[in-house]
Structure 1
């Protein structure tokens, strides 16, 4: 990919969402939708049940008759299972893609706070990730409203009633923070404020395209970015405690906010890299060269190592201390035949393969290598979030199935559609950015 000589006064490009690209995205979404429907049908038919589950169904029916005199439907357990799994998958995908959108926008604000010049040609790609925030927020809000009791054990009122035989002193001790009204307030407030910052920065940076010879918009974007980063530093950690860690209410990790950040961040930077390559192959981003891809590849490589470090730090401390209240989190994921293969697949996809594939300088400058690693990392961190959420909700019944995979593909297609649609709203290259020339002639 040779460097392209360009006129700095004539670098603007307008992205057109082509029919062929839409077809590819809709094809992925369509395959996902078919898989999703088939997965629900199989679960309703009880395709995943063994003799143990059949015995449990019979016992459940007998208990139901004894309790209220009404026999449960033969398919009641299957129906309850697939509904609970559906809510779990919706929550998991909502959390994953909302976080990726947030961290893509976070990476954009970092460029302004750090006075980065190399990234100017790809900053609009980073910025457009914020377009998905309201959609992801809506999924989270609706899913919580209809499925909170299935996903979050702490939402049951009897846990806080000291006269109840199921009173939980540990959960009751967290009541000031873990209660439904305050949880909903935080969820809505975080999404709203994040989107507000995105809206302001999109407005300021696109208005800059029409203003020459002034750094007013750039300086304002810097101030807004710094404000966002301060709010982000607090809100991202709290969101990870709310949306993920509170599922396993008795368990906690002081490293959890950082761990979630690293997983979202490496996925977001990987997605930015993949979209940049796709745009290049479509004939856009003429000013992006091997040096820009090299830097993006270095961030992908570096953040993969960062995630691996945090994963190992969290795991080893819990392993070495060997405190039952802490080790239960990993025991549940390593002793189950449903989760153990996914656990090691995640480590291979998120650390081993990216580490060895992107270790050399040349690999970070080759689009094919970057695309291979991008697919591995996106899938690997999707599995990471699957393992963070599903075992805590579904216990032993959370095997990866067609419904979960199909819904993941539907969300991926929706996310991609929103991102590419967002790119059509303004020029691909920031005009009149004070560091545009530095970005064009960037060398590594």
Structure 2
């Protein structure tokens, strides 16, 4: 088979058209979210305001994690010099390009939540670190060298800023590659990816400690960072796969076949098991040791309003992918894979809900218009930004050095 035998069979200049209907739907969802958040934040009831902030944090963090997973996917492909994924690389690139916007939104949410005392009040409140104060908390005072407002905000800016710069550059180099050809852009991407993976690997656990774990400042788990990473990575893979399937169903990406879907399905299957492994290890060790300052975390989540969801979370994120994706053929069928991706994205929303809500919202827990509205708003925003980005460039990286390998990918 000649080196360029398949290049004439496909239209590599094909561009995605962001239709008026898709644009309209995403903007309507965004508008619903803005209205729901505005009503929540302007409410005279403190509990509604608190719950709105908790949902903003949940969806802001989820949005940023999914975009960061797009950047991580790119870096992983470059460092491993993977060829199979080059035909679908435009999808994670579009997600990675949106990361700077997601990061700014999350930074605004965490900063306003911090200073309004609607989030992080377990460690950022008057007198907690002052031995003379009636509010003095020895545990929080002991952690104040790390848990303080300037340090918290600086870490948020540095971590998300470095992820955003690296992700944006990886996408930019690839778009330049189409214009310039040659290996210059690929070599730059390889070096940047190696740096990015080191930064990302060492800092994502700390980022999740700050953003989510510090909501309950008395509690800590050294496994929490990897638990969050697993949730982020599975969610990101599901979004990449879902966008790919929807594009395929709309007649795009003819060069992507069931073998590519199979690989994405394997990654979703494998990392869903990894997520469960970390979830179980964290839960089992805390249950077994039975140390009060550790068990308090799960005690809260076993209150009547959370206990059902606690187990539903495990069922959706572990049992569903095990049963649905165990079979080889299932990973190669678009409809099965699409349903699993949607179910897992809902499952990891529930996962973040269980991580965030018990430590931030004291009463009136449950699902209501605030949860649905905020989630719809962020889904609309994500869809609008990512699909808009996707429509600006050709869907195939025509001058990617490994594109031919992707065209012949077979497993």
Q: CA deviation at 1:8?
A: 7.1
More moved, 296-305 vs 24-33:
24-33
Hey, what's the Cα distance between the residues in 1 that align with 2:270 and 2:194? 23
By how many angstroms is 1:338 displaced? Answer: 2.0
Corresponding position of 2:401:
434
Q: Equivalent of 1:170, from 126, 136, 139?
A: 139
C-alpha separation between the residues in 2 aligned to 1:8 and 1:366?
23
1:210–1:431 CA contact under 8 A, matched in 2: no
Structure-2 change in CA distance of 1:439 and 1:82 (3 Å): same
RMSD over equivalenced CA pairs, Å? 2.1
Q: Which residue of 1 aligns with 2:242?
A: 274
- 2:216 corresponds to: 248
Matching residue within 134, 147, 164 for 1:195: 164
Q: Superposition pairs for residues 91-240 of structure 1, below 5 Å?
A: 91-148=57-114, 149-152=117-120, 153-212=122-181, 214-240=182-208
Q: Which residue of 1 aligns with 2:352?
A: 385
**3-state SS in 2 of match to 1:397:** coil
Determine whether 1:17 maps to 2:4: no
Q: Distance in 1 between matches of 2:27 and 2:123?
A: 38
Candidates 230, 246, 251, aligned match of 1:262 = 230
Distance 2:31 2:306 in 1: 27
1:432: Cα distance to partner?
A: 1.4
**Alpha-carbon offset, residue 135 of structure 1:** 2.5
TM-score relative to the length of structure 2: 0.93
* Alignment check: 8 A CA contact 1:291 1:365 kept: yes
Change (3 A) 1:6 1:281: farther
Q: Is the 8 A contact 1:6 1:287 kept in 2?
A: no
Structure having the higher Rg: 1
Question: Which digits, 9 at most, give the CA deviation of each residue in 1:335-387, with x for residues without a partner?
Answer: 2x221222122122111111101110111111110111011100000111111
**Cα offset, 1:157, TM superposition:** 3.3
Instruction: Say whether the 8 Å CA contact 2:91–2:243 is kept in structure 1.
Output: yes
In 2 relative to 1, CA 178–33 (structure 1 residues): closer, same or farther, beyond 3 Å?
closer
Which of 46, 51, 54 is 1:88 aligned to? 54
Cα–Cα, structure 1 residues 198 and 37, in superposed 2: closer, same or farther, change >3 Å?
A: closer
What does the per-residue CA deviation read over 1:59-105, in whole Å, with 9 as the maximum and x for residues that have no partner?
xxxxxxxxxxxxxxxxx6xx111111111111111111111110121
Q: Distance in 2 between matches of 1:33 and 1:405?
A: 12
* Partners of 1:38 and 1:402 within 8 A in 2: no
Whether the 8 Å contact between 2:12 and 2:394 is mirrored in structure 1 is: no
SS of residue in 2 equivalent to 1:175: coil
**Contact 2:12–2:396 at 8 Å: present in 1 too?**
yes
In terms of mean alpha carbon deviation, does 290-299 or 128-137 score higher? 128-137
Assess if the C-alpha contact under 8 Å between 1:91 and 1:139 holds in 2. no
Q: Report the CA distance between 1:323 and its aligned residue.
A: 1.2
For residues 407 and 208 of structure 1, what CA distance do their matches in structure 2 show? 38
**2 CA distance for matches of 1:369 and 1:240?**
32
Cα offset, 1:177, TM superposition = 1.0
Equivalent pair of 2:74/2:170 in contact (CA under 8 Å): no
TM-score (norm 1): 0.87
Shift of 1:120: 0.4
Structure 2, unpaired ranges of 5+? none
Q: Aligned residue pairs: how many?
A: 404
| CA distance in structure 2 between the partners assigned to 1:202 and 1:356 by the alignment | 35
- Match for residue 368 of structure 1? 335
| Local SS of the residue matching 1:428 | coil
C-alpha deviation, 1:306, in angstroms: 0.9
1:254-292: CA deviation from partner (whole Å, max 9, x where unpaired): 101100000010000000000000111111111000111
After TM superposition, give the deviation of residue 321 of structure 1 in Å: 1.1
Question: Is residue 2:407 matched to residue 1:406?
Answer: no
Return the alpha-carbon distance in structure 2 between the equivalents of residues 268 and 410 of structure 1.
Answer: 18
Name the residue aligned to 1:304: 272
In structure 2, the CA distance between the partners of 1:38 and 1:115, relative to structure 1 (3 Å rule), is closer
SS at match of 2:108: helix
